Amino acid sequence: MASVISRVRAADGRGLLGTWVKIPSLETVQLLGHAGFDFVVIDMEHAPHTLQRAVELVFAAQAMGMAALVRLPDHTGTTIQPLLDGGADGLLVPRVTSPAIADALTRRMVFAPKGERGLGATSRAGRWGLMALPDYLRAGDEALRMIQLEDWPSLERAAEFAGLDHVNGIFIGHGDLFLSSGMPTSDPAVRDLTARVLKATREAGILSGVAVATPRDAREHLEMGFSLVMVSNDTTLFGRAVAEAASATRAAPKE
């Protein structure tokens, strides 16, 4: 299966559409695949996924033809090796506030001697030892190593983060940016900052990512040129669907 970076390049300017996976269910991941999403991000930061379940969700997403990324739970880095060994297409590091943090964690996603990732060719990522070693190493090099910048000072330094050796993607965390700044994504200053971060990723030749709430917002950010655009999340998508069905049924006029 092609890497996320290769998929973005093959899309020829059209970004990929994804969503967050918070429900620890293989069936709902299958439904997301049937619905036509290009990728998912399995969320270990804000959902109670165990390491084993996260790897199973990676498998389920890839079986449906979607790319499978995982957002790390924290900065300890203890899940990096097993998630990559489990075949994740890439990892998203939340709440990055300094180049030192970004470098330390993404370095652990890159094989030695350039980085600190250990050889695990007999894992799922290496087809349990059946993949030729050069192919396994090449696939590892193509894994997405994306950092999430979520506060104003960090986003202002996007170009600096984009220039780090092992960072190949920057994701804008508009949610926590709102918490710290009080400004929504519609604020002109936030829109300008978003455009500047996108410009920094383009100039560095790395991927860009963003999460939004509505299909309208998703279309807007795809048109802006973001590489990865996430709309809503599985809990909200499925929850609203069943709520709307129940509401519409009860509101139906009596015959």
Average pLDDT over every residue of 109-117 = 97
Does the pLDDT value for residue 187 go beyond 70? Answer: yes
Cα 62 from Cα 211, distance rounded (Å): 21
Q: What is the pLDDT of residue 1?
A: 73
Catalytic residues: 46
| CB 38 within 8 Å of CB 2 | no
Residues 6 or more apart in contact with residue 12 via CB below 8 angstroms: none
Tokens matching residue 255: 């015959």
Q: Which parts of 182-223 are beta strand (E)? A: 207-212
CA angle 11/69/50 to nearest 5° reads 165
Q: Encode burial over 73-90: b for 16+ CB neighbours within 10 A, e otherwise.
A: beeebebbbebbbbbbbb
Average pLDDT over every residue of 136-153 = 96
| CB 20 within 8 Å of CB 233 | yes
Domain layout of the chain by residue ranges: 4-244
Cα 203 from Cα 239, distance rounded (Å): 39
pLDDT tier at 255, thresholds 50, 70, 90: low
* CATH code for the part of the protein at 4-244: 3.20.20.60
Q: What string of DSSP letters covers 107-169?
A: HTTSBTTTS-BPP-TTSGGGGGGTS-HHHHHHHHHTSEEEEEE-SHHHHHTHHHHHTSTT--E
Q: Which residue has the tokens 């049937």?
A: 34
pLDDT digits (tens, 9 = 90+) for 225-244: 999 999 999 999 999 999 99
pLDDT digits (tens, 9 = 90+) for 6-59: 999 898 778 999 999 999 999 999 999 999 999 999 999 999 999 999 999 999
Secondary structure letter of residue 74 according to DSSP:
S
Mean pLDDT in the chain?
95
